[in-house]
Amino acid sequence: MTQKIPTRLYLAEDELPKVWYNLRAVMKNKPDPILHPGTLQPVTAADLAPVFCKGCIDQELDDSTLLIPIPEGLQEFYRAYRPAPLIRAYFLEKTLGTPAEIYYKFEGNNTSGSHKLNSAAAQAYYAKEEGLTSLTTETGAGQWGSAMAMACAFYGIDLTVFMVKVSSEQKPYRKALIETYGANLIPSPSDTTESGRKILADNPNTGGSLGCAISEAIERAVKTDKCRYVLGSVLNHVLLHQSIIGQEAKAALDKYGIKPDIIIGCAGGGSNLGGLIAPFMGEKIKGASNTRFIAAEPVSCPSFTRGRYAYDFGDTAQTTPLIRMFTLGNGFIPSANHAGGLRYHGMNSVLSKLYKDGCLEARSYEQTTVFDAAIQFAKIEGILPAPESSHAIRAVIDEALECKRTGEKKTILFGLTGTGYFDMTAYMSYNAKTMSDSIPTDEDLTRGFATIPAIPQNR
Amino acid sequence: MTQKIPTRLYLAEDELPKVWYNLRAVMKNKPDPILHPGTLQPVTAADLAPVFCKGCIDQELDDSTLLIPIPEGLQEFYRAYRPAPLIRAYFLEKTLGTPAEIYYKFEGNNTSGSHKLNSAAAQAYYAKEEGLTSLTTETGAGQWGSAMAMACAFYGIDLTVFMVKVSSEQKPYRKALIETYGANLIPSPSDTTESGRKILADNPNTGGSLGCAISEAIERAVKTDKCRYVLGSVLNHVLLHQSIIGQEAKAALDKYGIKPDIIIGCAGGGSNLGGLIAPFMGEKIKGASNTRFIAAEPVSCPSFTRGRYAYDFGDTAQTTPLIRMFTLGNGFIPSANHAGGLRYHGMNSVLSKLYKDGCLEARSYEQTTVFDAAIQFAKIEGILPAPESSHAIRAVIDEALECKRTGEKKTILFGLTGTGYFDMTAYMSYNAKTMSDSIPTDEDLTRGFATIPAIPQNR
């Protein structure tokens, strides 16, 4: 192992993964099933059929097939922007003076700016294959809406994006990007749906919320012929699609005989973290590695570090099935934080189970310390990271400095999920020293927990 | 040649170019020398020493060394974001139904968003090597300022960027990006320089101009200890640095035995086009190929297609040496066009000579047709192009459709210089159908030509 490792470890096109890694299949203790909120019985494919594409439903409910083929028509799209580079952070290592070896999988090299495109492409592909003509979705910060707009433009599917009204006003360039790719963007709440009109009647001046946008998007999907709804995180099929991140990273590291000691990712709904760690966690479960896994989340929305493990709704409007997960309560309202993609009350059920069982660690960070790390990284590694991704960078720098203290030469892999090009207001706030942190009080958490449904399974 | 060509043709790290290609060395008819505006004699290294780094001056004046080594300390920086991908535009070919094979060298995969970083890195490297502690520059649209800020952050050099005031107001996110990388950004004209104060006294409400920002940046550089000025286009040493684009593209194509029939690039000051074509044009001059070369420029600033071949100043304030080039006159004011990087009255002297001698073709395009091409490209190839780069895309689509008409299977290579992520106002204008074109009248051109100095060489 005296071989010189290049700065960028690329896979050749014929080395690209042809299968996704379904982590649930190797878990001895499976995540609890998703429940129908009315019957409290496990949801069936038939329950989900009016809302989601069939291909996605099959994947959502499959906890036994380990390797699931990536369809050739989707591999074609992946080849348009993948492989994502796996980069050795030589400059960061040198600047920190750490003996640790640091690698990052960079998912921001596409116009949507993040890993979200991996699942957007898959969901648009299945919609096309199943003869659907349109899709609906919601977007907050805008990464997911951008990714869906790109994927739908490629596959020739009409897309309606309900964008949280306040976000569409604060991020006109994100809105413009989504529209440039041909999507129909509707600020939410809108007068185009019953749920939107109801919210507007009750509160005409609301800036909207993700929960409200989800309700509008689902309503539009179920009421429209040949139309379904797509979601960008939290659900198992989304994590499955994102396993392309881990599959590529592992293939590239395996070429050089590198085995990570620590793998770090930021966690909002869990799609990036779950996708990055999937094949590595599989090895650990099989007893083939001792890798540690760390989730990095904001202190303002500490689902893992201060949440409860319980069945909860995925949305604030309490319309989704019930998912057993670490949750702050579907009514928890995180204080303003620039990492919009991490402001979610819950967490994917697979990751929640792994955390519950001690296979996954979690840490929470204040956003000013996160931006300290982001800017240090940007100046030496050259990539301006997304606020979300920067939570992972903070954790990596802390681990690398710990290695410096102890003299341990650990190998660290982390997920750099995206770029901050459409998040410059956050950097402006940091530069102007007007950025603040906000840690929820115990009372804030108690109020959130009170919204977790009091069903038998939660007792 | 039945080998399947991958979508992305990457070079391995040990295949990256170690030398720049100095096209002037193979030209039988060299470009005319740059003249001192006072003496009208060729400028010497001593003339330029107060303004530019020594390493850059040596390169500026060297028209005989063909291959110039890229210093190892700079190769290290290049490895942080290079190789830039060379991409086969399979999706574009399919959509157009053309028999042509289309490749593009994508230089936008870095945070500055364009090829400008290639020369910024080189100039910051030489400054560091020569013991300078600070640099100054100007920026209009902001790509160059961003690139210099990144390069100076990496090499630990203080940077002052004079940004055209109206641009700093219209592009607050570009400004924020430059400041995030630690540069001192001053809207120009400012009260920090004599030239700035003079302009403000004459015209207190001016929004500034590139010419004015250049004057301020040069004044600051020559009056500051261990400080020099850097420029991002037009000059020969900048084109030399940008030859990394062509060197990489040629190495990747050579691996697959591919020889382009047509090479297309957008042209403002010429740095991208000159860098892309350098080694290919060298082959043509040596008689080893019949490649055609096409420059794509906006109709609103048609330096090649409607300009005059004459000695002219590089700046509106008439402070630079005189360059023999295709020019609209240093006083020509192009109408508003979103491709800020192409709004320059002149053109690099090497490219001008090649055009004069018939080795290079040029076409001009109206911006609405350019954005038609940009959005068609974005939807199928996935990358939202910069307005500047989109001029080349327009030319490529036209050539590919001509191949469809004639049935010719030509191989086309073009430079995709950057992304449009910080140019969303242009896309918003296109989406809203408020974008217009503006073709200079003959009177506009006459007024511009009147500002070309009436020196003996111009008669």
pLDDT digits (tens, 9 = 90+) for B430-450: 999 999 888 999 999 999 999
pLDDT of residue B209: 85
- For residue A219, the tally of other CB atoms under 10 A from its CB is 19
pLDDT of residue B361: 98
Residue A31 forms part of a structural domain: no
Pick out chain A residues at pLDDT < 70. 1-3
Residue B401 forms part of a structural domain: yes
CA separation for the pair B210, A306 (Å, rounded): 54
Residue B35 forms part of a structural domain: no
Q: Report the residue of chain A nearest B154, measured CA to CA.
A: A380
- For residue B123, the tally of other CB atoms under 10 A from its CB is 30
The CATH number of the domain holding residue B432 is 3.40.50.1100
Residue B419 forms part of a structural domain: yes
A431 interfacial to chain B (CB closer than 8 Å): yes
pLDDT of residue A1: 45
Residues of chain B neighbouring A428 (CB-CB closer than 8 A): 172, 176
> Token pair of A33, please?
């099933």
pLDDT of residue A333: 83
CA separation for the pair A363, A298 (Å, rounded): 8
pLDDT of residue A339: 78
Residue B49 forms part of a structural domain: no
CA distances B91 to A155, B7, B102, B282, B378, Å, are: 11, 10, 10, 31, 11
Q: Specify whether the CB–CB gap between A278 and A239 falls below 8 A.
A: yes
> Token pair of A188, please?
């939410």
**Model confidence over B368-406: pLDDT tens digits?**
999 999 999 999 999 999 999 999 999 999 999 999 999
Give yes or no for residue B3 having a pLDDT over 70.
Answer: no
pLDDT of residue B340: 80
CA distances A304 to A168, A349, B208, Å, are: 29, 12, 52
Which residues span the domain enclosing B261? 72-113+235-446
CB-CB: which of A14, A179, A382 is closest to B81?
A382
pLDDT of residue B316: 83
B13 interfacial to chain A (CB closer than 8 Å): yes
CA separation for the pair B352, B325 (Å, rounded): 5
> Token pair of B235, please?
């000059």
Half-sphere exposure of A346 (CA within 13 A, CB side): 27
At CA B328, angle to CA B326 and CA B329, rounded to 5? 105
Residues of chain A neighbouring B421 (CB-CB closer than 8 A): 111, 113, 173, 177, 421-422
- Beta strands A184-188 and A227-229 are unpaired
Interface contact A80-B427, CB threshold 8 A: no
Distance of CA A358 to the CA centre of its chain: 21
Residue A320 forms part of a structural domain: yes
pLDDT of residue A3: 67
A84: β partners: none
pLDDT of residue A336: 74
**Model confidence over B221-241: pLDDT tens digits?**
999 999 999 999 999 999 999
Q: Report the residue of chain A nearest B177, measured CA to CA.
A: A424
Answer whether the bond into residue B189 is a cis peptide, omega within 30°: yes
Give which of B365, B321, B359 is closest to B342, Cα–Cα.
Answer: B365
> Token pair of B442, please?
């003959």
Give which of B308, B327, B204 is closest to B268, Cα–Cα.
Answer: B327
3-state secondary structure of B409: coil
Residues of chain B neighbouring A179 (CB-CB closer than 8 A): 431
**Model confidence over A159-208: pLDDT tens digits?**
999 999 988 888 899 999 999 999 999 999 999 999 999 989 998 988 88
Q: How many domains does chain B have?
A: 1
CA separation for the pair B25, A57 (Å, rounded): 63
Q: Specify whether the CB–CB gap between A199 and A176 falls below 8 A.
A: no
Give which of B208, B200, B140 is closest to B174, Cα–Cα.
Answer: B140
CA separation for the pair A53, A126 (Å, rounded): 7
pLDDT of residue A415: 98
Q: For every residue of A182-229, which 3-state class applies, written as one string?
A: CCEEEEECCCCCHHHHHHHHHCCCCCCCHHHHHHHHHHHHHCCCCEEE
Interface contact A384-B421, CB threshold 8 A: no
A10 interfacial to chain B (CB closer than 8 Å): yes
CA separation for the pair B452, B459 (Å, rounded): 11
Q: Report the residue of chain B nearest A371, measured CA to CA.
A: B180
Half-sphere exposure of A445 (CA within 13 A, CB side): 19
Half-sphere exposure of A296 (CA within 13 A, CB side): 29
Q: Specify whether the CB–CB gap between B99 and B409 falls below 8 A.
A: yes
3-state secondary structure of A385: strand
CA separation for the pair B326, B306 (Å, rounded): 9
Residue A138 forms part of a structural domain: no
- Which of residues 319 through 338 in chain B touch A, CB cutoff 8 A? none
pLDDT of residue B343: 85
- Mean local confidence (pLDDT), B28-45: 96
Record the pTM: 0.96
CA separation for the pair B254, B450 (Å, rounded): 47
Residue B126 forms part of a structural domain: no
> Token pair of B215, please?
């004057």
At CA B75, angle to CA B72 and CA B77, rounded to 5? 120
CA separation for the pair B370, B367 (Å, rounded): 5
